[in-house]
């Protein structure tokens, strides 16, 4: 045990201790009587805590947002929601004037009606097909009659008789008429197929013309989001180059979906892995520390105005009852390894003496050199596995 003694140049000398506390931090000065040499040191308590090896980054809170715009140029006709409203998927949020599309829609509807009438007229139940069908059936009946009469004349007068030859001409003419009317009926059927194709085209064109109206509407893409911004009023010119603002017309935010976002250089990005534990501190909550984990490290750099490459890192945050706001600034420690609930001292308090790890313990006015065993360290703090107790005071020579 050392009792008010300092070994200097292998000589033992007695010293008078002058204890000077600087800023309450435990600094002392030792002055030797004989030569005025000064030896400074500070003390710290042995505590139980956490030692982490971590990457420190700065970042901010980001909310899941949707920036919504009108796709076509026009004048805002109506705004169907207010700031703070919770909206559902498909809900119309705003409309602009779509009168320029009315003539196109009217023409496509007229074309659709015309195509529908043509298809109906040429169908098997339609007028054109019914006329050709009746003509075909009549030609078949006439052919049968003329054929029967020919057979009768051949039987009565012979095949080369005047009656039979004359009737054969009528019979051949009836056969030709059957072929002709059948062809006409088949042509109607082919025309019906063409009409059906045209009807389908007209239906698609009409549907497309109506869908253009949706380009003059802003609809909510998801359920349960909040209207956070409306950057315009009724009468504002929106869409294309004529828009009166560079901001999105409407911004939706999901208040339940947020994360901490940061950007790091390539050297740090290579050290960060998915599922790495993180501890986040926000300037708005200086007494709080939020747990999270890395969920994404971008493999693609974002190059800033100074031509520096940075990589986005997204950190999820464990559920909390505290309110978060977009762009809250803070910092995060991305932990690669850690130990918790262990005794800790500063690395500088530990000395290696002939292969042994030792510290100097201060107990009142007495000093003691003690051997300890250390464990995990992050280069600043070191775990003490045994040799010390919570609350003991160790000396760090300056």
Whether residue 387 contacts residue 373, with contact meaning beta carbons closer than 8 Å, is answered with yes
Confidence of residue 11 (pLDDT cuts 50, 70, 90): very low
Residues 107 and 257: beta-carbon distance below 8 Å: no
pLDDT for the residue numbered 144? 95
Question: How many structural domains are present in the chain?
Answer: 4
Predicted confidence at residue 310, as pLDDT, reads: 95
Within-domain flag for 106: yes
pLDDT at 27: 40
Last residue of a domain, one of 161, 190, 214: 214
CA 254 to the chain's CA centroid: 12
Report whether pLDDT(243) > 70.
no
The predicted pLDDT at position 172 comes to: 94
3-class DSSP state of 22: coil
Question: For position 38, what pLDDT does the model report?
Answer: 64
pLDDT of residue 10: 31
Domain hosting 8: range is 1-42
**pLDDT confidence of residue 213:** 83
| pLDDT, mean of residues 316-320 | 90
Q: Does residue 3 sit in helix, strand or coil?
A: strand
The reply to whether 241 and 317 lie within a common domain is no
| % of residues, the chain, pLDDT over 90 | 69
**Residues 75 and 34 grouped into a single domain:** no
Q: What confidence score (pLDDT) does residue 293 get?
A: 96
**What is the pLDDT at residue 398?**
79
* Per-residue model confidence (pLDDT) at position 229: 94
Instruction: Let me know if residue 333 belongs to a domain.
Output: yes
**pLDDT more than 70, % of the chain:** 89
Alpha helices, H only, 212-300: 266-269
The reply to whether 26 and 5 lie within a common domain is yes
Same-domain pairing of 116 and 209:
yes
Among candidates 288, 285, 310, which has minimal Cα distance to 300? Answer: 310
Tokens of 263: 């950007």
pLDDT at 341 over 90: yes
| 370 in a structural domain | no
398 is a domain residue: no
Give the residue from 95, 117, 107 showing the smallest Cα distance to 208: 107
Bridge partners of 395, per DSSP, are 43, 360
Q: Does residue 310 contact residue 264 with C-beta atoms inside 8 Å?
A: yes
Query: Domain check: are 237 and 274 in the same one?
Result: no
CATH number of the domain residue 84 falls in: 2.40.50
92 and 239 belong to one structural domain = yes
The pLDDT value given to residue 242:
54
Query: Distances from the Cα of 272 to the Cαs of 71, 200, 304, 333, 362, in angstroms?
Result: 40, 56, 21, 11, 41
Q: Given a cut of 70, is residue 29 above it in pLDDT? A: no
What distance in Å separates the CA atoms of residue 5 and residue 13, rounded to the nearest whole number? 6
CB 14 within 8 A of CB 4: yes
Q: Are residues 107 and 209 in the same domain?
A: yes
**Domain annotation covers residue 110:** yes
387 touches 394 (CB < 8 A): no
pLDDT at 88: 95
> What is the residue whose two structure tokens read 């693609």?
300
Mean pLDDT of the chain: 86
Per-residue model confidence as pLDDT tens digits over 173-182: 999 999 999 9
Model confidence, pTM:
0.61
390, part of any domain: no
Q: Please compute the mean of the pLDDT values over residues 70-75 and round it to a whole number.
A: 88
Provide the pLDDT confidence category of residue 32 given band limits of 50, 70 and 90.
very low
Indicate if 109 and 187 belong to the same structural domain. yes
Q: Name the band, by pLDDT with cuts 50, 70 and 90, for residue 365.
A: confident
Which pair of structure tokens corresponds to residue 6? 């300092």
Phi/psi of residue 101, nearest 5 degrees = -90, -10
Same domain? For 114 and 141 the reply is yes
Cα atoms found within 13 Å of the Cα of residue 136, Cβ hemisphere only: 16
Residue 349 lies in a domain: no
The answer to whether 222 and 146 are in contact (CB under 8 A) is: no
In a domain, 362, yes or no: no
The per-residue pLDDT for 103 is: 85
pLDDT digits (tens, 9 = 90+) for 259-311: 999 999 999 999 999 999 999 999 999 999 999 999 999 999 999 888 899 99
DSSP state of 28: E
Q: What is the pLDDT of residues 33-67, one digit of tens each?
A: 345 556 688 999 999 999 988 999 999 999 999 99
Predicted local distance difference test score (pLDDT) of residue 37: 57
Is 57 exposed, middle or buried (CB count within 10 Å of its CB: 0-12, 13-18, 19+)?
Answer: buried
**What distance in Å separates the CA atoms of residue 387 and residue 370, rounded to the nearest whole number?**
7
pLDDT tier, 24 (very low <50, low <70, confident <90, very high otherwise): very low
Residue 382 has pLDDT above 50, yes or no: yes
Q: Predicted confidence band at 71 (pLDDT cuts at 50, 70, 90)?
A: confident
Strand partners, 237: 75
Q: 108 with 189, same domain?
A: yes
Residues 59, 110 within the same domain: no
Do 92 and 114 share a domain, yes or no?
no
Q: How far apart are CA 212 and CA 215, in angstroms?
A: 5
Q: Rounded to whole angstroms, how far apart are CA atoms 8 and 3?
A: 15
């Amino acid at each position: 045990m050392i009792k008010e003694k300092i070994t200097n140049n292998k000589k033992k000398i007695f010293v008078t201790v002058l204890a000077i506390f600087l800023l309450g931090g435990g600094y002392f000065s030792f002055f030797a009587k004989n030569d005025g040499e000064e030896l400074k040191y500070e003390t710290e308590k042995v505590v139980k805590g956490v030692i982490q090896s971590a990457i420190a980054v700065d970042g901010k809170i980001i909310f899941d947002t949707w920036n919504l715009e009108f796709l076509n140029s026009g004048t805002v006709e109506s705004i169907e929601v207010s700031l703070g409203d919770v909206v559902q998927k498909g809900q119309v949020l705003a409309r602009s004037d779509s009168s320029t599309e009315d003539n196109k829609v009217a023409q496509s509807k007229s074309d659709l009606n015309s195509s529908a009438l043509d298809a109906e007229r040429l169908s098997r139940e339609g007028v054109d097909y019914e006329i050709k069908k009746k003509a075909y059936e009549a030609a078949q009946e006439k052919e049968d009659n003329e054929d029967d009469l020919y057979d009768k004349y051949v039987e009565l007068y012979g095949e080369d008789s005047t009656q039979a030859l004359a009737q054969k001409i009528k019979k051949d003419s009836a056969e030709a008429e059957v072929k002709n009317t059948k062809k006409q009926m088949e042509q109607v059927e082919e025309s019906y197929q063409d009409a059906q194709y045209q009807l389908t085209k007209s239906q698609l064109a009409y549907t497309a013309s109506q869908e253009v109206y949706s380009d003059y509407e802003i609809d909510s893409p998801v359920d349960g989001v909040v209207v956070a911004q409306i950057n315009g009023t009724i009468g504002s010119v929106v869409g294309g180059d004529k828009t009166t603002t560079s901001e999105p017309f409407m911004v939706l935010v999901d208040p339940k979906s947020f994360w901490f976002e940061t950007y790091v250089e390539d050297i740090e990005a290579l050290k960060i892995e998915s599922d790495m534990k993180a501890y986040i501190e926000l300037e708005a909550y200086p007494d709080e520390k939020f747990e999270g984990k890395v969920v994404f490290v971008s493999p693609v750099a974002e190059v800033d105005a100074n031509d520096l490459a940075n990589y986005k890192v997204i950190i999820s945050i464990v559920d909390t009852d505290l309110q978060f706001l977009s762009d809250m600034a803070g910092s995060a420690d991305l932990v690669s390894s850690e130990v918790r609930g262990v005794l800790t001292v500063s690395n500088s308090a530990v000395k290696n003496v002939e292969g042994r790890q030792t510290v100097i313990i201060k107990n009142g006015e007495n000093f003691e050199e003690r051997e300890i065993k250390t464990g995990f360290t992050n280069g600043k703090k070191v775990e003490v596995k045994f040799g010390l107790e919570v609350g003991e005071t160790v000396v760090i020579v300056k």
